[in-house]
Amino acid sequence: MSGNMIYRSKAPLRIGLAGGGTDVSPYSDLYGGVILNATLSLYASATIEPLDKGGIIVEAIDQQQEQQFEWDNKLPVDGTLDLLKGVYNRIQKDYGIPKINFRLSTFVEAPAGSGLGTSSTLVVAIIGAFVEMLRLPMGEYDIAHYAYDIERKDLKLAGGKQDQYAATFGGVNYMEFYGDDNVVVNPLRIKQQYLFELENNLLLYYTATTRESAKIIEKQATNVINKKGDPIEAMHQLKEQARLMKEALLKGKVHDIGSILDYGFQQKRKMAEGISNDLIDEIYETAKTAGATGGKISGAGGGGFMTFYCPGNSKYNVIKKLEKFSGHHVKYQFVKHGLQTWTI
């Protein structure tokens, strides 16, 4: 590693299209989970820049946060920039990082807590930068599982398993989760015209509210542990929704997508308190009245991004009718690539 090298990585954020929440323990351990998601042209990126002096600097550029430390093989996890420090600590422990001064900086192109998998995608990007720098022999499954382990076990953040795999693999994937730790990623080969149609009709709308997904996810997990009938049945239905969505995309039945999303939205609200609220319900009803045939809340719910399926040219009317709320729609494309790393 020479001092003038820069190691970079980027990983795409994702939208869940179906099955959301069935990738969360203990449901996925007990019953198995299924998710269908797709990665977008919005990224989390990480850069490691070796320095002549200055110890270790960690910086989240989008959060305008920075911390500086004397060189150490363990950085304090204290609520600030924990994802950056958590990855460093774990890689230091497992692989050993040479005693060099460096700056680790990150940037995420969507607000934290917005429901596009920002924190897990960021963890994948940070791991990617270290993999690039240290030339670690890690494949896609390895990196995704490592990211999950760091977030859930080392940093004890509640959440599902899908984001780490979406960010690492990229594309449109049908993911199956079995037992404690078995994940199988099935990439879907969807005809380009169907994907273009989905991209054209799917409106990505930011509600301008964020939330702490971990709190909602903890409620959801408690409902499963306490064997609450309605939330568990709702999750069974969301698995069925993922199968329906897979079939619609592969067979080009794009006009069914709105109603499949709508069905999922109704089920998802039964999984835990806080997933929906009055504002979300009002935005949803407004979009449907304006021509959307269905939609969903991204991620754990409670705020962040929503997506709406708008057939024909109805998305322009939906955008117009949603202007009365404080959110805005976001342009995107689907992307086929997952985590990418390079050296300059």
* Alpha carbons 235 and 267: distance in angstroms, whole number: 7
Give me the catalytic one of 23, 163, 256, 262: 163
Strands 56-60 and 101-108, by their bridges, are: parallel
The verdict on whether omega for the bond into residue 26 sits within 30 degrees of 0, i.e. cis, is: yes
Q: How far is CA 206 from the centre of its chain?
A: 15
The reply to whether 163 belongs to the active site is yes
DSSP string, 232-264: HHHHHHHHHHHHHHHHHHHHT-GGGHHHHHHHH
Q: How far is CA 28 from the centre of its chain?
A: 17
Q: Where are the beta strands (DSSP E) in 140-236?
A: 172-178, 182-187, 202-206
Helix 82-95 vs helix 118-134: angle between axes, to the nearest 10 degrees?
40
Distances (CA, A) of 192 to 54, 196, 308: 49, 6, 20
Q: Can you name the residues that pair with 205 across neighbouring β-strands?
A: 306, 329
Q: What count of other Cβ atoms lies within 10 Å of the Cβ of residue 163?
A: 30
How many distinct helices (H) and strands (E) make up the chain? 11, 12
Cα of first residue to Cα of last residue in the chain, in angstroms, is 12
Q: Which of 217, 65, 79, 216 is nearest to 155 (CA)?
A: 79
Distances (CA, A) of 95 to 73, 130, 212, 333: 11, 10, 32, 36
Kindly report the backbone phi and psi dihedral angles of residue 122, in degrees, each rounded to the nearest multiple of 5, phi listed first.
-65, -45
Could you give the residue numbers annotated as active site? 163
